[in-house]
Structure 1
Amino acid sequence: MGRLFLTKLDGAFYTCNSCQTHLANIEELISKTFHSRNGAAYLFNSVVNITVGETEERMMTTGMHVVADIYCLCCCQNVGWKYEAAFDEAQKYKEGKFILERGRIIGGAKEASVISSDADEG
């Protein structure tokens, strides 16, 4: 087993809710109007610190797509999926994009706002 090399994001980002590994920068967010079997989901241009599973054809509410589940690199939790291909021309914009399920991520605020400023109190 080797050492994990993780990408650390700056500014506002989303993390895995299980192990707090950085997953996506807020600037990569395309839409918050997606849905998964487990609830709300967000569409991103890119994500980091994930592994991509096997591709499969999956029927979604917008039609048939070829997708691959994505997993947190640290804790291996399924955090969403990657769109590999869309059969409907109107859905082609999703190809190469990523879905993160809202219930499996935390964040969106700047890292600095999460850290307490106890040093200023006195």
Structure 2
Amino acid sequence: MAGVILRRAYGCYNCRKQVALHDDIVKKNFVAGHRKRAFLFSHVKNVVTGPKTDRPKLTGVHMVADVHCSDCGEVLGWRYEKVYNEAHNYKLSKTVLVKYKIVKLDW
């Protein structure tokens, strides 16, 4: 397999549909409710977003939309649609995937 570049990918834990690439992780130290680990991704794929809503998070209230697997509909995390504190602008238009809701694919 000389010359082949393998890209480490993550998939939905329920149906294994690819949803993100390891190279697109922005931060690994995110926390989803009840101290569950999560990753912040710059890009995701094969997901659909639910309605936008203001939701309290550990860092304050943000407008977010839940992110669902496009194949099985499982909720995998959320996307930041609007932030109300400039210190959190880096989250805007990025997606958080909860670690236990995704699996490594072929690596």
Instruction: Normalising by structure 2, report the TM-score.
Output: 0.90
- Displacement of 1:37: 1.4
Letter in 2 for 1:18: N
1:34-113 pair list within 5 angstroms: 34-37=30-33, 39-107=36-104, 111=106, 113=107
Tell me, yes or no, if structure 1 residue 22 matches structure 2 residue 33.
no
- Displacement of 1:96: 0.2
Q: Deviation per CA, 1:58-116, whole angstroms, max 9, x where unpaired?
A: 11111110000000001100000000010011001100000000010001x6x3x4xxx
Unaligned runs of 5+ in 1: 1-9, 114-122
Partner of 1:11: 7
Partner of 1:118: none
Relative to total residues, which structure has the larger strand share, 1 or 2? 2
Q: Which runs of 4+ in 1 moved over 2 A?
A: none
Q: How many residues were matched structurally?
A: 101
Task: Determine helix, strand or coil for the equivalent of 1:93.
Answer: helix
10-19 vs 63-72, which deviates more? 10-19
Partner Cα separation in structure 2 for residue 93 and residue 32 of structure 1? 14
Task: Return the index of the structure with the highest Cα Rg.
Answer: 1
Relative to total residues, which structure has the larger helix share, 1 or 2? 1
Task: Determine helix, strand or coil for the equivalent of 1:96.
Answer: coil
Unaligned runs of 5+ in 2: 1-5
- Root-mean-square deviation over aligned CA pairs: 1.2
